[in-house]
Structure 1
Amino acid sequence: MSPRHGRGPIAVRGYALTPWARSFVDVVEGRTAGSGADAIADSRHITKARRYFRDRHVHGLRIGAGRVTASVEGSQLDPFDVILTTRTVDSGTVAELLRARGAVMELMPLTRGEQPVVVGELIGPTESADVMTDCTCPDEAVRCVHALAVAYEVAAEIDRSALTLLTVMGTDLKSLLDKVGDAPTPTRESDVGSLPGPDFYGSTSPLPPLPSPQRMNPLTDLDTTDLRQALRAVGVVPADMAETLDELGDLYDRLAGEA
């Protein structure tokens, strides 16, 4: 049978196409080690939730730190409200574990959209209880269809951006980098070997002192061509240029003296 005129193939929506997203879905569905049998979503709910995801029944998805909200079109006239709440991670603890495992530099691939293994292990949920779901529907299942559909939308967002998982788990890349950069600085050369690992910049050595630049006056020591052009642009006439430069020089000397 030939396809209908003017219609191309229909794109099928996908989710959990990347390792972090797949792990997130496995936890929500209860397919990870340590998840009780009562926490596993049954195949009927999963199949229906996948259809809800493909047919875009999820609306108003909002992903915040440790909390995801959305509304889902279901079997009733009004949509159901869904909340996913995660057991968030502590950025400082994650930074310490990264240093201990020598994996600090794994944070850098995140800026390129990659999903480094160790970071995912430390940040992502590991058991069903790490992701709690609540829905206004009457279904008393541990994971209702609507909650699963929202989880699949979150997984699709993680596929698009690995940083989404950080947000879902209550942290962000800046916080992790800040905490990694807070590693103690050694006061003695013998302390270097006792630190838990390298800091974010790859070295635990103390930085050298800043240089002391020679004192100068930019109005007399540098080319003032651009400054003169700027002064002319604001209305200073050539006859007043020398006096204006002198006044700026006096002002600079006062500011430099106060500093």
Structure 2
Amino acid sequence: MTESRRVKMDNVIYANFGNKQRVSTPEDRVKVTNKSRDKQFSPAGKRTVLLTEKNADRGRQSRGEQYYRNGNVTGMTVLEGRVECTVAGSQNEPFTTTVTFPYRSSEKLREAYSAIADTPNGLRLVRDGHLTSSMLDHLVGGIDESIYFDCTCPDRSLVCKHAVASSLYIAEKMTANPAMILDIRGQGMAGLEALIRTYHSKVAVEPEDNESFWNGKALPGLPDPKIAPAIDDSDINYLHKALRLVSYTSLEQLRAVSDIEDMYEILISNHPDNQQVYEEEDTD
């Protein structure tokens, strides 16, 4: 009797399905883990994942990466200094994971923005997501720092699987939107660009010593504008148009304009420059 060539395993015939493949070996789990590690994140995204994984054990890290690949992270809200993610877990209601980045005071952030302004093409580097190591330390967090997580799940570990999934999701969004790290720091790309312009437009101001404060400094010379014949240079039609509103007849309008011209001549004739001109005319 010929033995059947059908594959049998665990009392199940796999004739129509092929051989059963197990993926629970340590080697397979390493491949699954490395699959997410090989994802091309931006420097800010990689730093976010690094500061997360340093406090995560291997089991939670592996399950969190699986959650991320399966799309369990369903939402994200960017707040100042932190990000809130919604993660679908084993229960009916999703869990909320709060990802808090290392604290930065206003003074420290100003130092970071000043460093970006002093870096050649610093604004373009930030806009393209190519942050330098110093920028990453200021904006994301230093290598010796940690990102803190607070999750509504029952797991009380420092970094649960939902936190790992959230950090990978945030890293993905940071890669797609490099300005996200600035939004987390409460600045935004537009605000950073405005600050950069301010830094570049600064001019050195000479400090004022105590003596110059009390004794004062020499005042600049006052301008000496020349007399401008306003009526001659202006359009006389506008004057006629204005007087037309208060004149009953054209004759009154013409007389009014003539009177204004006479008064103007009298006023400017008293100026020293014009008096000299008039004296020269009388002599001739």
Mapped to 1, the partners of 2:190 and 2:96 lie a distance apart of 31
Measure how far apart 1:165 and its partner are: 2.0
| Equivalent residue, structure 1, for 2:161 | 145
Are 2:21 and 1:21 aligned? no
CA distance in 2, matches of 1:78, 1:114: 35
What is the alpha-carbon distance in structure 1 between the residues aligned to residue 98 and residue 147 of structure 2?
10
Alignment partners' CA distance in 2, 1:71 and 1:128: 28
Which structure has more RCO (C-alpha within 8 Å, separation ≥ 6)? Answer: 1
* Ranges in structure 2 where 5+ consecutive residues have no aligned partner: 1-34, 207-240, 243-284
* 1:212-247 Cα deviation digits (max 9, x unpaired): xxxxxxxxxxxxxxxxxxxxxxxxxxxxxxxxxx99
Alpha-carbon distance between aligned partners in 2 of 1:72 and 1:53, rounded to the nearest angstrom? 9
> What are the residue-to-residue correspondences of 1:20-99 with 2, within 5 Å?
20-30=44-54, 40-89=55-104, 90=106, 91-98=109-116
Is the partner of 1:182 in helix, strand or coil?
A: helix
Where does 1:105-124 land on structure 2 (aligned, <5 Å)? 105-111=121-127, 113-117=128-132, 118-124=134-140
Cα contact 2:43–2:129 (8 A) shared by 1: no
Q: What residue identity is the alignment partner of 2:57? A: D
User: Partner amino acid for 1:95?
Assistant: Y
Secondary structure, in 3 states, of the residue corresponding to 1:125?
coil
Which whole-Å CA distance do the structure 1 matches of 2:123 and 2:74 have between them?
32
- The 8 Å contact of residues 41 and 175 in structure 2, kept in 1 or not, is answered as yes
How far has the Cα of 1:120 moved from its partner? Answer: 2.9
Shift of 1:160: 0.9
Unaligned runs of 5+ in 1: 1-11, 31-39, 189-245, 248-259
Larger radius of gyration: 2
Distance in 1 separating the partners of 2:135 and 2:150: 28
Instruction: Confirm or deny: 8 A CA contact 1:65 1:169 kept in the other structure.
Output: yes
Q: Label 1:122 to 1:104 Cα distance change in 2 as closer, same or farther (>3 A).
A: farther
Aligned residue for 2:85, secondary structure, equals strand
Q: Deviations over 1:99-152 (max 9, x none)?
A: 5xx4153112333x2413143343221257552210111111100111111111
Query: Could you tell me how far apart the structure 2 residues matched to 1:130 and 1:56 are?
Result: 25
Q: Report percent identity of matched pairs.
A: 20
Amino acid at match of 2:114: E
Instruction: Note if 1:132 corresponds to 2:148.
Output: yes
Aligned positions of 1:160-171 closer than 5 A: 160-171=176-187
Give distance in 2, aligned partners of 1:154 and 1:144: 15
